[in-house]
Amino acid sequence: MNKENRTIQLHFFVTEQEYEKIKEGKASAHIRVLSTFLRRMAIYGYIIHVDMNEIQKLTSLLGICSNNLNQYARKANETDCIYQADIEDLRERLTEIREEVGIILEGFSKILEM
């Protein structure tokens, strides 16, 4: 919603302790503007912040695995054979990816339990 559409202003008082807790909540939600944080909390009742580090790690692992698979396929097409060590390497990387996906899904399930 655009700033121009907001015509109603709300005011309320808080104690120092409440203000500190509000600032902590704003920081943990990674929101810089206090009014944005308060508006979202008032409307939705909670704010979900997703840590994208695990997803970036997963994306990196998928890229590595995809590149390796292409190299293995190219080698197999050129030589009509593929080494067992290459297959094991690919299996290990896929296992890593499955584990990362499990961590991400576990995190999402915790968010949904809130």
Please state the pTM of the whole predicted model: 0.44
pLDDT digits (tens, 9 = 90+) for 66-88: 888 888 888 888 888 877 788 88
Say which DSSP state 30 is in.
T
**Could you tell me the residue ranges of all domains in the chain?**
3-44, 53-113
**What's the pLDDT at 66?**
81
| Residue 64 pLDDT exceeds 70 | yes
Q: Where residue 114 falls among pLDDT bands split at 50, 70, 90?
A: low
Q: Rounded to whole angstroms, how far apart are CA atoms 42 and 38?
A: 6
Residue 32 has a CB neighbour count (10 Å cut-off) of: 9
| Residue 2 pLDDT exceeds 70 | no
pLDDT digits (tens, 9 = 90+) for 34-60: 999 999 889 888 777 667 777 788 788
Nearest one of 106, 73, 78, 104 to 90, comparing CA atoms: 73
